[in-house]
Amino acid sequence: MQTCDVVGQGPAILFVHGFPLDRWMWHPQVGALDGFLRVAPDLPGLGESPLGEGPASMASYAAALGRCLDRLHLESVVLCGLSMGGYIAFECLRQWPERIAGLALLDTRADADTEEGRRGRDRLIAEVRTRGAVAAADAMLPKLVGTTTAEAKPAWLSELRRRIERSPVEGVVAALEAIKARPDSTPLLGKIAVPTLVLVGAEDVITPPPLAEAMAGAIPGASLVVVPGAGHLPTLEQPHAVTEALQSLARRV
């Protein structure tokens, strides 16, 4: 059973976190989006959720989220995915499109890893197996937040490091394998037929704004929000801007 925060009442919003984090990365939005039922699970093997059976994949994560909605008797949600959460959202569109009433793709990309990217995943997997989740923190932290956050909130960066470092090693490795093997979702973009928000931090160096612009351009009717003063984690770096953008999407659905 996945660990999951379920807060409030109203139309449901499902929050899918990125790597190597957990549901905490959505806490400002979960706390603020009154008038909606906010559902924020930890993916299998990350945060406080146990690892699932068999190898992790975007498909196994999407299936676990579908089971989470079943347990809560939710027929339809606004689906929000950040980075890896976005890769998983594409898989949810394949597995249970009828349940997705609106879509928010934050700091993510539709294409698969390149060969070079896959080799980088393998190197990080080997490092995490040897040194633990601290290797994931070392590799990701310098890229996760924007320069504005890094300069203004150094103490907060230490909190982020502490959280990444306590991630379970097997869950981190499973997520890296799943990310490495993810399919190209670009062909899906033109078929998305629900209200869609594409949001990106202006200082994101992992999935930079030009990727978000191209993705928004390929999704019929999608709106694009570029959040100033944020890198790859705008939910935490500029929480109010993200909450407002999500609220406006959820009200349109």
**Of 85 and 195, which has the nearer Cβ to ligand MLT?**
85
Distance CA 108, CA 147 (A): 19
CA separation for the pair 47, 25 (Å, rounded)? 11
Residue 19 beta carbon to ligand MLT: minimum distance, rounded to whole angstroms:
3
List the structure tokens of 63: 């299936």
Residue closer to ligand MLT by CB (options 84, 199) is 84
Q: Counting contacts by CB under 6 A, is residue 179 touching ligand MLT?
A: yes
Q: Is 18 in the site for ligand MLT (CB under 6 A)?
A: yes
Dihedral over alpha carbons 12, 66, 15, 90 (to 10 degrees): -120
Alpha carbon separation from 219 to 61, 101, 113, 161, 243 (Å, rounded): 23, 15, 21, 35, 22
CA 16, 20, 22: angle at the middle one, nearest 5? Answer: 45
Of residues 81 and 102, the one with the C-beta less far from ligand MLT:
81
> For ligand MLT, what does the binding mask look like between residues 192 and 221, x meaning CB under 6 A?
--------------x---------------
| Cβ atoms of residues 41 and 61 within 8 Å | no
Does residue number 181 form part of the binding site for ligand MLT (CB under 6 A)?
A: no
Does 167 engage in binding with ligand MLT (CB under 6 A)?
no
Smallest gap, in angstroms, from Cβ of residue 111 to ligand MLT?
A: 11
Number of residues counted as binding ligand MLT (CB under 6 A) = 7
Residues binding ligand MLT (CB under 6 A)? 18-19, 83-84, 179, 206, 232
